[in-house]
Chain A
Amino acid sequence: MVKYQLKLFVTGQTLRSSRAIMNLRRICEEELGTGYELDIIDVLERPQLAEEERVLATPTLIKKSPLPVRRIIGDLSDTKQVLRGLELLHPESRGGEG
């Protein structure tokens, strides 16, 4: 199985940041089990990484692999959109989330 490489950019210890981290961990565990690597980057501490990836919005989730690279912005509370971005939206799971 392909290993997912994910980068999540957040701004400090805000409510929105922790919501995004929680949402992402839940989705990944449900969908990918242990098949993923997640790097959480606080742009306040490492702005040069945000510069390299040209990130504007926080939170921003970047799926580095498998290709194609995808960007998902927001607190990841819209699970369906996150699954679409991660290309994990199977026909049978459609509508199953709520």
Chain B
Amino acid sequence: MDTATARPIEKLATNIPGFDHISCGGLPKHRTTLVSGTSGSGKTVFAAQFLAEGITKSGCGGVFVTFEEDPVDIRNNMATMGWDIEAWEREGKWIFLDASAQIDEEPIVAGSYDLGALLARVEYAIDACKADRVSLDSLDAISNQLQDRATVRRELFRIGLALKKKKVTSIMTAERNQDYGDISRYGVEEFVADNVIILRNVLIEEKRRRTVEILKFRGADHKKGEHPFTVVPGQGLVAIPLSAIELKQKSSDVRITTGNAELDAMCGGGFFRDSIVLVSGNTGTGKTVVVSEFLSGGLKACERTLLFAFEESREQLFRNVSALGGNFEKMEREGMLKIICEYPEVMGLEDHLLSMNNIIQDFRPLRVAVDSISALERVSTAKGFREFVISLTSAIKQQEITGLFTSTTPTQLGGFTITEAHISATTDSIILLRNVEMNGELRRGLTVLKMRGSQHDKDIREFVIDGSGMHIGKPFRNVNGILAGHPFLNGGEQSDRGLGG
């Protein structure tokens, strides 16, 4: 059979965190991929990391051809990513090929030429360190050095072919003038690579947003669209896949306690093991109580439990919980509970996501609460926030952890916010908490709005909070408009009062 034509293009795992997910396995093997981006978009880091991950994770050598920066500068800059390039050079795993312009020595052109010497040097270096990865940074610099653009194009094409014959996988970087527009400044993409990756560093609403997009992988599968990434000191570039993980989610029918027997009953027997629950309400409606009960319920069942608190300090939290009869301080000492208190503003959302994922992976909890997730919206754009929620949700569900997020609504008496509209699509259950004004007094109401895959109580029930926690009572009767934030009484009682008052 004719298998040669149907054979899919093999991929080389880059080991750049998250990137192999987006690229469905890595870069096309033995091919050249163009990495294009504006100045400061992370091209050189990407090119260096491609080699660094190859050396550290699969023990293969790498050649870095620099047309622009001095190797000394690259060594120093990349040390902040935790890569000791100098040590790799000593071990013969990393070779710098310095092709940067020499000062005071502008060559005189006297006839036609090619880049045969460069190619010979690259091939020599590949053999010397048994490289299977090569990075060339950047094509613009070589185009600037040698004025004859047509020659440069032809020669880069030839180098691409030679690299393929050498069975190495390579990256060439190119600069673009804008984050959205032509792929590269000199239009190099059309002849260099069947594979193009775009790095972006865009300023939206005064916030920097870095993304990576695979524009094309000829003949090879990849995820479409822009995926956020961040550059982490000591680690390098970390891409954040958005859609990749969702497909694999298992749907568990194991129930766990909400930590409150009455709420368990309302949810038809508790939350599902790998579900995400959103608790929405204004400040003072009792969200922290629900969180506290959820965490206590986990601890009673001897489950490791993790709380990310973005609204309160540790001391405040301990105090609030002890007023409800819980003791987080003791639980944390015993090692079953971990509390991370952080101001949302300390870092960007992508960094929050990475840090949260790392903590979850280290601590391996069965329950995770985020109080509140809406506080994180302050440090991001709406789009970035939505991506964050999708990523976090996917990560939590994939590990069969139960997640409980709280969301603070801005108006005193309720309503449904845009934030929640974003979150609600990805959550399995929604619990609404509302202040209900009745007869000149403020009471608390709770309802289970959504419970994916299960029957649930549809009443809006009144609840009270005391020194032993939350107690859910009877449904509100003869009251309408609680969820909309405008409760009013039905029937005689109200009209009696209205007339009498």
A residues contacting B by CB (< 8 A) are: 9-12, 16, 19-20, 23, 43-44, 47-48, 50-51, 54-61, 68-79, 81-82, 84-85
Which residues on B sit within 8 Å (CB–CB) of A57? 107, 113-118, 146
The list of the 10 closest CB pairs from A to B, nearest first, reads A11-B116, A74-B111, A47-B124, A81-B110, A75-B111, A58-B116, A77-B111, A43-B120, A55-B117, A71-B107
Which residues on A sit within 8 Å (CB–CB) of B266? none
Which residues on B sit within 8 Å (CB–CB) of A10? 116
User: CA of A11 to CA of B99 in the docked complex: distance in angstroms?
Assistant: 17
Given contacts A47-B124, A48-B124, A73-B113, contact A56 B108 (CB under 8 A): no
Apart from A11-B114, A56-B146, what 8 extra A-B contacts exist at CB < 8 Å?
Answer: A12-B116, A43-B117, A50-B121, A51-B97, A56-B99, A72-B108, A74-B113, A78-B110
User: CA of A68 to CA of B99 in the docked complex: distance in angstroms?
Assistant: 21
Given contacts A57-B146, A71-B105, contact A50 B111 (CB under 8 A): no
| B457 sits at the interface (CB 8 A) | no
* Interface residues of A, dominant DSSP: mixed
B residues contacting A by CB (< 8 A) are: 97-99, 102, 104-105, 107-121, 123-125, 142, 145-146
Assess the B108–A85 pair: CB atoms within 8 A.
yes
Can you give 9 contacting A-B residue pairs, CB < 8 Å? A51-B121, A58-B115, A60-B107, A61-B110, A68-B104, A73-B108, A74-B110, A82-B108, A85-B110
Which residues on A sit within 8 Å (CB–CB) of B125? 51
User: CA of A61 to CA of B104 in the docked complex: distance in angstroms?
Assistant: 16
Which residues on B sit within 8 Å (CB–CB) of A59? 111, 113
User: CA of A48 to CA of B123 in the docked complex: distance in angstroms?
Assistant: 11
Which residues on A sit within 8 Å (CB–CB) of B110? 61, 72-79, 81-82, 85
User: CA of A57 to CA of B105 in the docked complex: distance in angstroms?
Assistant: 14
User: CA of A49 to CA of B406 in the docked complex: distance in angstroms?
Assistant: 66
Which residues on B sit within 8 Å (CB–CB) of A78? 109-111
Task: Point out the residue from A44, A47, A58 that lies within 8 Å of B113, measured CB to CB.
Answer: A58
Nearest residue, chain B, Cβ from A71: B107
Most chain A CB neighbours (cut-off 10 Å) among B98, B102, B105, B108: B108
User: CA of A36 to CA of B115 in the docked complex: distance in angstroms?
Assistant: 27
Most chain A CB neighbours (cut-off 10 Å) among B107, B120, B124: B120
Which residues on A sit within 8 Å (CB–CB) of B146? 56-57
Nearest residue, chain A, Cβ from B100: A54
Given contacts A47-B120, A56-B146, A57-B146, contact A73 B98 (CB under 8 A): no
Assess the B118–A56 pair: CB atoms within 8 A.
yes
Assess the B108–A81 pair: CB atoms within 8 A.
yes
Which residues on B sit within 8 Å (CB–CB) of A61? 110
User: CA of A69 to CA of B120 in the docked complex: distance in angstroms?
Assistant: 23
Which residues on B sit within 8 Å (CB–CB) of A85? 108, 110
User: CA of A72 to CA of B125 in the docked complex: distance in angstroms?
Assistant: 25
Nearest CB of chain A from residue B354's CB, rounded to whole Å: 40
Nearest CB of chain A from residue B117's CB, rounded to whole Å: 4
